[in-house]
Amino acid sequence: MNTTFPDFLSEHFARHGLDAALGGVAETFAAACVRIGAQVRLGALAGVLGEAGSGNIQGEAQKKLDVIANNILIDALRADARVAGLASEEEDSFVACNENGGFLVLFDPLDGSSNIDVNISVGTIFSVLAKPEGALDTSSFLQSGHRQLAAGYVIYGPQTQLVVTFGHGVSVFTLDAQNTFVLTQSNPRVPPHTKEFAINASNRRHWQPAVRKYIDELLEGEDGVRGKNYNMRWVASMVAEVHRILMRGGVFMYPKDSRDPSKPGKLRLMYEANPMSLIMREAGGTASDTERAILDIQPQDLHQRVAVVLGSREEVDYVNELHLAD
């Protein structure tokens, strides 16, 4: 018998003594992602491709589906009495929801949206925190990644899949023909060793010396110091990159570069790096900003950026060592 997402939540939460209200928030988020997936799937048929003609707090041009996905999630979470507030990569500030809610939800509504118009996998990333005592303000959200109660993503690809952790392993669900998420994989593990890496090599001239050294070593293959041949992948969608690593291993890098010294990286700590790092930890992988574990970082801002290296432990540890020696 197939295990649906609600069935899984009931059993998983009872086994680990988790708050059932957290499961309710996860169900709300998953249902909203089903609606987003329907819009992604229709694409040009629904007139949702192309630019929205607006920009977000990051100064990035928004796609129509960025705005649609963001609005779907905001409306769904506002309607859930368990949610006290939310923060989105597409919003300038946090959004207050329900005064008596116990949870905060942070999300990137449509990661990899530059791929939408060319029909390559995109996704939604999310993180759930407990609301601290007192009035809701920006500081309520500024919690380290270790304090996440749940994290995950939905990938809209050949299959629509929900990947989630509540701190007790990772579970993968696939959307069936009845728009129900069904458990299809329990506790995937990221192998510690790999021969695959993902980085935007066009930025090489901007990388720090340690990153250039690392990639040069990988490209030397079995004749070089690493002693094996590596393959390079790059989808320009963090969800797609992380999902591949979760399924078969690898290392994903979006390092700091020299183009804007005021920015320690491109990816957002709260909406991308933290939730993906928790997924990696729970699947046996790891993640760092080359100096410390991503989950150890104390956020200073809702839209804080970080360098990210995540995936198979051997590679992440080696990149950290190269930066330490640099």
What DSSP string describes 81-136? TTEEEEEETTSSS-EE--TT--EEEEEEEEETGGGGGGT--EEEEEEEEEPPSSS-
What CATH number does the domain located at 196-325 have?
3.40.190.80
Q: Count of residues for the chain?
A: 326
Are the beta carbons of 198 and 241 closer than 8 angstroms? yes
Taking only the tens place, the pLDDT of each residue in 31-81 is 999 999 999 998 777 777 766 556 565 666 667 888 999 999 999 999 999
Are the beta carbons of 20 and 101 closer than 8 angstroms? no
% of the chain at pLDDT higher than 70: 96
Q: Do domains 5-186 and 196-325 have the same CATH topology?
A: no
In words, the CATH class of domain 5-186 is alpha beta
Q: Which residues of 174-202 are buried (b: 16+ CB within 10 A; e: fewer)?
A: ebeeeeebbbbeeebebbbebbbbbbeee
For residue 112, the model assigns a pLDDT of: 85
For residue 258, the model assigns a pLDDT of: 87
Find, among 174, 191, 170, the residue nearest to 183 by Cα: 174
Taking the alpha carbons at both ends of the chain, their separation in whole angstroms is 54
Find, among 215, 239, 240, the residue nearest to 226 by Cα: 215
Are the beta carbons of 114 and 94 closer than 8 angstroms? no
Q: Residue 279's CB: how many other CB atoms inside 10 A?
A: 26
- Mean pLDDT on 273-302: 98
Give domain limits for the chain.
Answer: 5-186, 196-325
pLDDT category at 225 given cuts 50, 70, 90 is very high
Say which range, 32-41, 160-169, 225-234, 256-265, has the weakest mean pLDDT.
256-265
Residue 325 or residue 145, greater confidence: 145
